[in-house]
Chains A and B, each alone.
Chain A
Amino acid sequence: MKYLDEFRDGERARGIAARIRQEVEPNRRYALMEFCGGHTHAICRYGIEDLLPDNVRLIHGPGCPVCVLPSGRLQAAIDLVERERVILCSYGDLLRVPGAQGDTLLKARARGAELRMVYSINDALDLARAQPDRQMVFFAIGFETTTPPTAVAIRQARREGLGNFSVYCNHVLTPPALRALLATQPATGVVDGFIGPAHVSTIIGSQPYAFVATDHHRPLVIAGFEPLDVLQAISMLIRQINAGRAEVENEYTRAVSAEGNRKAQRLMAEVFALRSTFEWRGLGWLPDSALAIRPEFAEWDAENRFAIPPIQATDHKACACGEVLRGIKHPEDCKVFGTACTPDHPLGSCMVSAEGACAAYYHYGRFRQAAAS
C-alpha cells in the first residue's frame, strides 16, 4: 500500500495544476462533472478547486449510493424492522438518511428497533450464523462496486442453507444514471465533460460509457479516487475539449480495463436480474437502472420473504437534493444548506454520507461561504 503517498504528492499536483492553467483557453468555460461521490469527497478534502483557474468549474454528480436511495425505499426498511421484528444490518450512513416525514432508522432504533451497524455484508452473515433464532436482513445499497460482494454472500447463504439471512436489495447501475442525466441536458453546454467512476469501472470496464461520447459528444475520463487522479483527469478533459474531441479515456489504467472484471460480472448476472424500473432520489424513475435478486435465490430476498410493500414518500419541501444530484444546483444554493440542514440534522440525503456533495461542502468548504457573505 506504499504507493498511496505517491498519488498525494503535492509537487506533482502543483505541476499538473500549472499545466492546466497554461492550457485552458481564457474565453472558454469548462464545466466538468465528477459522477462519483468518492471524487466529490477527494476534491473537497484536498481543496482541488483552489488549484484550478476560475473558468474551470466542477459540478457534482449523483454517484453517491446513500444520496440516491429514495425515501420510500428507506421508509420500507424502517417499517420492515418495526413490523417483522427482524434485525436490520446496515452501513452506518443509512441510519441518518431521512425517510418519510423525516423519520430515520436512528429514530426507529430509539423506539426499540434492532439495528446493527456493519462494515460489510460478511458481518451480517456472521451475525446470522451466530443468532440462528433471529431473522437478519442486510440493507444492500450501492453501485456496481458493492454488488459482487452481495452476490457472493447470497450464494454463500444458499450453500450453507442459512434460513435466517436475507438481503433487501437496492443495488443500482451507473450507466443508466449517466444516460438519464444526459437526456436532460441541452446538446451543448451545462456539462462539458465527465470524470468517470473509479471503483465502479474496475467492475464494468470502460466500454459501457461509450454512448457518452458517441451519442452525446461529451468526453469522459475514468479516474481513480486519489486527488492526483482527479487532477490528471481534469487535465485530460481540458485537452479533449480544446481539441474538440469527445472520447472515453482511462486515467485509471492501473485498475480499469476496457472489459472490466468478467468474473464479477458473471457473478452479478447469476444472482441478479434487471428491474424494469427503479426510483432514484433526484432522478426519478429510471428504466433498467437497478437490480433485483433472481427468483432462484428468492428465499434470500427480503422483499420476497417479508412481502415488503412499495412505499411512495415525498421529500422535505425545502430539500433541493434532486437539483443537487443532477448538478443543476450547487449545495450552497439550497436555501436550507447549513441552517436547517446540517450533518447533525440532515433534511436531505446529500447531507448524510461523506460522499454526498452537501456534506462534503459543509465539512470541507464552509469557510468559503463565510468569506463570501
Chain B
Amino acid sequence: MSPRREIFARGLDLTHGCVEMSHGGGGRAMAQLIEELFLAAFDNEWLRARDDCAQFAVPAGRLVMATDSHVVSPLFFPGGDIGCLSVHGTLNDVAMAGARPLYLASSFILEEGFPLADLQRIVESMAQAARRAGVPVVTGDTKVVERGKGDGVFITTTGVGVAPEGVTISASRAQPGDAILLSGALGEHGMAVLAQRENLGFDAPIQSDTAALHELVAAMVAAVPGIHCLRDPTRGGLASALNEIAQQSGVGMRLRESAIPVREPVRALCEFLGLDPLYVANEGKLLAICPAEAAETLLAAMRDHPLGREAAIIGEVVADDHGFVEMETVFGGRRLVDWLSGEQLPRIC
C-alpha cells in the first residue's frame, strides 16, 4: 500500500515505541507515523492523495457540520475507547439535524511518551467505527505536546452531512403538546467510565452505550419527517438536554419518572454513589420531540431499530414561562429537573 516506505530505514516500533516530539515536527518521523499508523488504519482514496485537505462532491440538500473534542479519562473503558467515541460523537451531532453524515476529519493532540501500541489501538478502533458507519475519515492533523502538557491523547473530530429536503430539526422547534421520546436506557456511558476510573470493581461491568445513531435517525425521519427536535443527551445527561431544548424553544416539559428506562446496574451504582441517572452522560441514546399525533408512529419506528428497542414516550412539552422541566416522581410527587450546576458529585453524608 505504501509507495514511500523505502524512505524510512526502520518501521515504527508499535510494540514498545512511544510518541516523541519529532512525531509532530513535520519531518520524516511525522510522515512515518502518518504512513504506518494513521494511513494504515483509515486507508481511503482521499488520504492516499496525501493533500492537506480532502476534496469531494456533495449531493444536493442542506449541508450540516459539527465538531466535537474528546478528552475522556480513562482512554479505554468497558464497551469502547476514546477512538470509537470520537467517531460516534460527531456522527451523532450531525445526525441530530436529521442529516446523513458523509465525511469525517480528525485531529490528534498526542502527549510525548504516549505508547504507540495504545495509539494504534485507538486509531484502529476509530477506523473500525468509521467503516461500520460507512463514513470515511478523509483528512486529519497531528500535534505532539511535551510530557505533562496533555493527558495521553486528545481527539477532535469534525463531520459533514446532508439533511434531506423538508426536514427541519432544531432544538428551538419544540411546541406545547409535543411528545418527548427517549431511545433507550440512561446513564450507561457515564457510569461505565466512572466505575472504571474510580476502580469500582464489579463482576459484570457496565458497558458504555457508545454507538452511531445516524441509521436510527434515518429510520425515524423516514417514518415521521415532521420531527421537531432531536438531541443526543451526552454530557449533563437527559436533564441538561431537555433544559437546553426548553430554553431554546421557550417551553416547559413534564416528565413521568416511571416511564424513563434505567437499567438495574446503572440505577444501583448511581444509588450507591448518590448520583442521579438523569444527569449521567450517554453516547448512544437520543431524545426526540414530535407532534403528539405522530408519537406512536415514531415510537414504533424507533423500536424497530436495534438501537431503539427500549424506546419510550417519557413526557410532553407544555407552555411554561419559566421554562421548567418538571417530573412526576415514581411516588406521585413532583420535582424540578434542573440544570446541572457544577459537577454531579457523590454524597458524603
Which residues of A are in contact with B by a Cβ distance under 8 Å?
Answer: 1-2, 4-5, 8-10, 13-14, 17, 36-38, 41, 44-51, 63-66, 91-93, 96, 119, 141-143, 145-146, 199, 227, 231, 342-344, 354-355, 362-367, 370
Contact = CB atoms under 8 A, between A and B. Distances in A.
Interface string B315-335: 000000010101011111111
Interface in B293-349: 322, 324, 326, 328-336, 338, 341-343, 345-349
Interface centre among B322, B335, B343 (most CB of A within 10 A): B335
Interface stretch (B33-41, B78-86, B119-127, B268-276): B268-276
Contacts of B271: 1, 4
Interface in B241-299: 258, 264, 267-268, 271-274, 276
A365 B332 CA distance: 14
B336 A143 contact: no
A50 B274 contact: no
A297 B125 CA distance: 50
Chain B, interface residues (CB within 8 Å), range: 20 to 34
B331 A343 contact: no
| A interface secondary structure, majority | helix
Nearest to B324: A367
A370 B332 contact: no
| B interface secondary structure, majority | loop
Nearest to B345: A92
Contact of A47 (B272, B276, B335, B342): B335
Contact of A4 (B267, B276, B336, B343): B267
Contacts, number: 109
Contacts of B336: 363-367
Contacts of A64: 349
Given A119-B198, A362-B338, A38 B349 contact: yes
B349 A37 contact: yes
Given A1-B268, A1-B271, A354-B347, A10 B341 contact: no
B345 A93 contact: yes
A36 B268 CA distance: 21
Interface centre among B276, B324, B332 (most CB of A within 10 A): B332
Given A46-B333, A119-B198, A365-B335, 5 more contacts: A41-B347, A91-B348, A199-B349, A365-B336, A366-B336
A92 B342 contact: yes
Contacts of B330: 8-10, 13, 46
Contacts of A66: 348
Contacts of A91: 345, 348
